[in-house]
């Protein structure tokens, strides 16, 4: 087992020692989520619309079934593999479901069906809202809004549009691939990544520590 997976397993054990719904467990769960998102080890699929919904469902599944089975048949079992493999297995099928759903929606949009009064109804309007994001992600979004001016002042030289507020939102929250960010901004991946690691990520980690998500 490598160092990263050993660290995650230790946090899992610590989280499961606390009662379900307790503040202590929630903090440990959010800490694990943060580290996994930062690791870049989850499946990536930027060409599927609404893929963020699959990630949100995966994090809800993670919180509900890590220590005890709530919506799954069995809880996470360390003997069967690492946490990320467990999550990627679930995430793969959620992405596959969304991809299939999008395909069916495109087909239905070609021939919208009629409502009770004869009006055309777009099936897209009937899709339920995606699951609510985790408390940690909500707080980070609020922090980005509240600290907007400060974070935008920290930017790549001569590129005020490539700043910490934008990069944290697009890279951490929206999980946009470095390749796509490089194409959007016209900036090499190493330049973006180095700036993010040295200037932006420390600010995000400082906030997460203050909120109790990191030790």
Task: State the Cα–Cα distance between residues 3 and 39, nearest whole angstrom.
Answer: 12
Quickly state the pLDDT bin for 200 (edges 50, 70, 90): very high
Q: Which has more pLDDT, 145 or 48?
A: 145
Q: For the full predicted model, state whether its pTM sits above 0.85.
A: no
Quickly state the pLDDT bin for 134 (edges 50, 70, 90): low
Task: State the Cα–Cα distance between residues 131 and 86, nearest whole angstrom.
Answer: 20
Task: State the Cα–Cα distance between residues 207 and 201, nearest whole angstrom.
Answer: 10
Query: What letter does residue 153 receive in the DSSP assignment?
Result: T
Tens digits of per-residue pLDDT, 64-83? 999 999 888 899 998 888 89
Task: State the Cα–Cα distance between residues 91 and 43, nearest whole angstrom.
Answer: 7
Residue 215 has pLDDT above 70, yes or no: no
Tens digits of per-residue pLDDT, 94-127? 888 888 887 777 766 655 554 555 555 555 555 5
Residue 45 has pLDDT above 90, yes or no: no
Backbone dihedral region for residue 21 (phi beyond 0: left; psi -120 to 50: alpha; all else: beta)? left
> How many Cα neighbours within 13 Å face the side chain of 213?
21
Residue 13 has pLDDT above 90, yes or no: yes
Confidence (pLDDT) at 125: 54
Asked if 198 contacts 180 with a C-beta cutoff of 8 angstroms, the reply is no
Distance, CA of 110 to chain centre: 32
Q: Which has more pLDDT, 132 or 208?
A: 208
- What share of the chain has pLDDT > 90, as a percent? 34
Q: Which has more pLDDT, 93 or 45?
A: 93
Q: How many CB atoms lie within 10 A of CB 146?
A: 10
Confidence (pLDDT) at 120: 53
Confidence (pLDDT) at 110: 57
Mean pLDDT of the chain: 83
Residue 196 has pLDDT above 60, yes or no: yes
Tens digits of per-residue pLDDT, 146-192? 999 999 999 999 999 999 999 998 888 888 888 888 998 999 999 99
């Amino acid at each position: 087992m490598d160092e990263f997976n050993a660290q995650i397993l230790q946090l899992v054990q610590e989280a499961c020692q606390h009662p379900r719904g307790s503040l202590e467990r929630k903090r440990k769960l959010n800490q694990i989520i943060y580290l996994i998102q930062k690791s870049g080890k989850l499946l990536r699929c930027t060409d599927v619309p609404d893929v963020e919904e699959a990630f949100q469902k995966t994090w809800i599944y993670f919180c509900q079934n890590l220590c005890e089975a709530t919506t799954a048949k069995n809880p996470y079992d360390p003997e069967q593999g690492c946490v990320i493999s467990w999550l990627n297995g679930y995430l793969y099928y959620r992405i596959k479901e969304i991809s299939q759903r999008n395909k069916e929606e495109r087909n239905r949009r070609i021939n919208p069906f009629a409502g009770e009064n004869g009006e055309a109804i777009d099936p897209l309007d009937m899709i339920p809202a995606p699951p609510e994001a985790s408390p940690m992600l909500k707080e980070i979004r609020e922090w980005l809004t509240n600290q907007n001016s400060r974070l935008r002042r920290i930017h790549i030289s001569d590129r005020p549009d490539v700043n910490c507020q934008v990069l944290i939102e697009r890279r951490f929250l929206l999980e946009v691939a470095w390749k796509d960010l490089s194409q959007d901004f016209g900036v090499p991946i190493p330049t973006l990544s180095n700036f993010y690691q040295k200037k932006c990520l420390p600010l995000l980690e400082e906030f997460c520590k203050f909120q109790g998500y990191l030790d």
